[in-house]
Structures are given as structure tokens and as C-alpha cells.
């Protein structure tokens, strides 16, 4: 089996761990490192030092199970770091989310309510692999740490540590000065970004938070639609190509900017040789969503970034969902090592043709309403047996063999109700 060397890889989410966040009581780790398994070896991203990463991961589980909280935890960490930078920036393109950021601990335990929420993320840039730790109790930062491994030399170094005994700057940060009046609600990483953004390492780390990972929010349709303007011709060209490959009977589209920061999108159709334009508002809900979604997909593939989407399958036909997944799996298309992480209920793609076992994740609720996260590749049945790579993943999931309550079990049996 051919293994693709992706020499253009520069940025990557490696691993994310969270503890005591909403329904996540115990430590949960989401891993984008490829496991040592033999399936689809041509669909993994090999970085320049030989480390292997996944281009796609999907999280399944019932409504209310907590799968969205895994993605929300990662988003909350990103917002906690970036909000102070955006608030002090003169750049009008930076949009601060209006909703107040609240880091909520596990709700069903008085003990956990008094403990901090813990985040840990490993990520890669062109220069290095970083580990960033942030522990927060409500708004207050209790502990923070940043470490680095240079990819060209393999040299490991600590950059800073913040805890009960104060702040210690190390290595390349040792000569930086920190205000004696640093707010206990302000992450040190954010402070360094505000004060020393021209520092190469500070800029490298914060560039990943700002540009290396993106979160798709269906709750703000105008923001999504605005992406269709796409300042980059490359993004628009790829969006149009994807639309045409999906056989949506759309030849082209154009965007008009209106007063008061409004935009309108028009789609061009041809029927029996006659061309006509439709306002996007007259298209189906699925087409509208695609126009909000595809510019994010295109930009991610072109720039090689990590795209995080909650409920990617909502309003999208299963064939289109599969097509989007396979864009990331195709290393001829995904030449810069972009990553797609999403939650889903759609079982038509839960099979060995679309996914490796380490790309399928489940969230299950424990007896104390605590969410547990685990991948299919690490799951073992009562006999200690692993799931075979040629198993019928969707069928076994519906049968409840993977520990997570199947989504369909939570649906009312209308046949019985109407009998």
C-alpha cells in the first residue's frame, strides 16, 4: 500500500485533552495521531519527521450524550486565548463573539464544581510542536504552561510556567518582561501576544490558535454566508468546482455586497439551454447550507488548516457528506494536510470504506451523567477482543456493541405509537 509523503504539511492538531468541562467529568483525550493499524495507509498525513496524523475524525453518539461538548471544549480554549488579543486589536476583520465565554465545570458533582477545568493541547506549526496547558476555575487562571519541541533538531524546552509560586519564563522567553499587575483572568499566552506579538515564537504559537484551527458555527448564518465572498479567487474556484462535482445543477455563483454590510448570493442554472439566476434565498435549505459550508472546506484544504464542525451531516445528503470526507482523505486533493473534525448522526458513512478505525470516535454517558470519549480502534468487547477492520461498523453500533447508546434507540417508535 502506498504511503503518501506530504511535504507541504506545516500545521496540525495532534492531541487535545479536557477534564471537568460540562458533561466531561474525567479526563478525555481526543487524538489525531494515526494508530499503528494497516487500513488505508494511503490516507494518512506523514509529516516531515515521519510522524503520522489523521486527516479526518468523526464523533458519534446520542443526542445529549456530550459529543458536542468535546468540540466546545476545544473552542472554549481557543476563545480564552484569543479574546484578549481581539479586544485590544485595531484590526476590524477580527470579530469578537458576543456571547460571554463561560467555562462550566461538571454539573452533577459538588466536588467537581470547586475544581478547575483542565485543558491540554498538542499542535504543530512549521517550526515546532507545542504543548499548551491551561487550568481555569470559572474565569481565573490557576495553572498555565507552554513547552516546545523543535522539529528540525528534536530539542525539547520549556517556555513558561505559571502557578501558585508565580510566573517563570524559560528558554527563549527568559528575557521577556511581565507586568506585576497581570490579571489572574488573563492567560499569560494572551498577554505575551498583546505585548510581544513580534516575537517569533509567540507569533508562531498564536498564529496556530488564530489561523491554524477554525470552528464552523451554524448559529450565525450571516457570518457563514459572508465567507462566500471569499477574497481569494482560489477559494471561490474550489467552491465552484466542488459544487459542480456534487452535480447540483449550479453552473456558477456571484456575490453582491449591499448597504449596511449585507450581501446577496445569486446562483446560475441552465435548463434545456436556458440560463437563469436564482437568489440563494430561493434555493433549498441544503443548498443554502452548502454555500455557508463549502468556503470553509475550500479554505481549509487550500491553507492546510484544521476545521471543526458540529453536526456536519445536518441538512446535507449522505452522498454529499461522503464526498466532503473523501476530499480530506484524498492526498492528491489534500496536499497540505488539512484536517476535518466533526460530530455526526449519519451512519451511511460509518464503514471501513470511508474511515479507518482510529478515525471513528464515540461518546457515551456513564451512570453519573458523565461523558466518556473513546475511539473504535481502542474499543474492546467483554472478551477483550478488538473490532475487526472489516467489521460492519454501522450495524454493530446500532446493535449497541460499542458501548455508546445508538442514536436510533432514542427515537420514538412511531409504528408502535400509531398502531
Q: Find the mean pLDDT for residues 279-296.
A: 84
Q: What is the average pLDDT across 58-86?
A: 93
**What torsion, rounded to 10 degrees, do the Cα atoms 264, 269, 275, 281 define?**
-30
Beta bridge partners of 268: 252, 277
Cα dist. 404→24, 59, 335, 379 in Å?
15, 11, 34, 11
On the question of pLDDT at 4 being above 50, the answer is: no
**What mean pLDDT do residues 172-181 have?**
93
Q: Which band of pLDDT confidence, cut at 50, 70 and 90, is reported for residue 419?
A: very low
Angle between helices 188-195 and 200-207 (to 10 degrees): 120
Question: Do strands 28-31 and 12-19 pair parallel, antiparallel, or not at all (unpaired)?
Answer: antiparallel
The answer to whether residues 229 and 257 touch, using CB atoms and an 8 Å cutoff, is yes
d(C-alpha 353, C-alpha 326), whole Å:
10
Report in angstroms the alpha-carbon separations of 347 from 126, 192, 226, 264, 393: 36, 44, 31, 35, 9
Nearest to 310 by CA among 341, 269, 264, 282: 341
Residues 301/338, Cβ–Cβ less than 8 Å: yes
The pLDDT of residue 105 is above 60? yes
On the question of pLDDT at 237 being above 80, the answer is yes
pLDDT at 221: 47
| pTM for this prediction | 0.90
> What is the C-alpha to C-alpha distance for residues 146 and 158, in angstroms, rounded to an integer?
6
Report the share of the chain in percent with pLDDT over 90.
57
E strand or H helix that includes residue 264: strand 263-271
Amino acid at each position: 500500500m502506498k504511503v503518501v509523503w506530504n511535504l507541504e504539511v506545516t500545521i496540525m492538531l495532534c492531541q487535545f485533552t479536557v477534564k471537568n468541562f460540562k458533561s466531561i467529568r474525567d479526563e478525555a483525550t481526543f487524538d489525531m495521531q494515526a494508530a499503528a493499524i494497516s487500513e488505508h495507509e494511503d490516507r494518512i498525513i506523514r509529516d516531515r519527521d515521519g510522524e503520522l496524523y489523521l486527516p479526518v475524525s468523526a464523533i458519534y453518539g446520542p443526542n445529549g450524550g456530550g459529543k458536542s461538548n468535546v468540540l466546545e471544549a476545544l473552542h472554549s480554549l481557543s476563545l480564552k486565548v484569543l479574546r484578549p488579543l481581539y479586544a485590544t486589536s485595531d484590526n476590524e476583520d477580527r470579530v469578537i463573539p458576543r456571547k460571554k465565554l463561560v467555562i462550566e465545570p461538571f454539573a452533577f458533582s459538588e466536588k467537581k464544581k470547586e475544581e478547575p477545568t483542565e485543558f491540554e493541547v498538542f499542535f504543530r506549526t512549521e517550526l515546532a510542536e507545542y504543548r499548551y496547558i491551561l487550568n481555569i476555575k470559572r474565569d481565573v487562571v490557576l495553572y498555565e504552561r507552554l513547552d516546545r519541541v523543535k522539529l528540525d533538531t528534536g530539542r525539547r524546552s520549556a517556555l513558561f510556567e505559571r502557578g501558585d509560586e508565580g510566573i517563570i519564563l524559560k528558554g527563549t522567553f527568559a528575557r521577556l518582561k511581565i507586568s506585576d499587575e497581570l490579571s489572574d483572568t488573563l492567560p499569560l499566552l494572551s498577554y505575551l501576544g498583546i505585548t510581544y506579538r513580534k516575537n517569533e515564537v509567540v507569533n508562531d504559537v498564536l498564529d496556530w490558535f488564530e489561523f491554524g484551527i477554525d470552528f464552523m458555527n451554524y448559529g450565525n448564518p450571516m457570518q457563514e454566508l459572508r465567507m462566500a465572498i471569499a477574497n481569494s479567487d482560489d477559494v471561490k474556484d474550489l467552491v465552484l468546482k466542488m459544487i459542480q462535482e456534487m452535480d447540483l445543477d449550479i453552473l456558477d455563483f456571484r456575490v453582491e455586497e449591499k448597504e449596511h454590510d449585507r450581501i446577496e448570493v445569486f446562483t446560475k442554472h441552465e435548463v434545456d439551454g436556458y440560463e437563469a439566476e436564482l437568489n440563494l434565498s430561493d434555493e433549498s435549505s441544503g443548498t443554502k447550507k452548502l454555500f455557508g459550508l463549502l468556503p470553509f472546506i475550500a479554505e481549509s484544504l487550500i491553507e492546510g488548516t484544521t476545521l471543526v464542525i458540529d453536526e456536519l451531516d445536518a441538512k446535507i445528503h449522505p452522498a454529499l457528506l461522503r464526498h466532503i470526507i473523501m476530499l480530506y482523505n484524498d492526498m492528491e486533493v489534500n496536499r497540505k494536510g488539512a484536517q476535518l473534525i466533526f460530530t455526526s448522526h449519519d451512519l451511511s458513512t460509518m464503514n471501513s470504506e470511508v474511515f479507518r478505525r482510529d478515525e471513528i470516535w464515540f461518546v457515551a454517558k456513564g451512570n453519573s451523567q458523565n461523558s466518556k470519549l473513546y475511539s473504535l480502534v481502542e474499543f474492546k468487547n467483554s472478551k477483550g477482543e478488538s473490532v475487526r477492520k472489516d467489521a460492519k461498523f454501522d450495524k454493530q453500533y446500532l446493535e449497541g456493541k460499542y458501548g455508546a447508546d445508538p442514536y436510533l434507540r432514542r427515537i420514538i417508535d412511531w409504528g408502535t405509537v400509531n398502531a
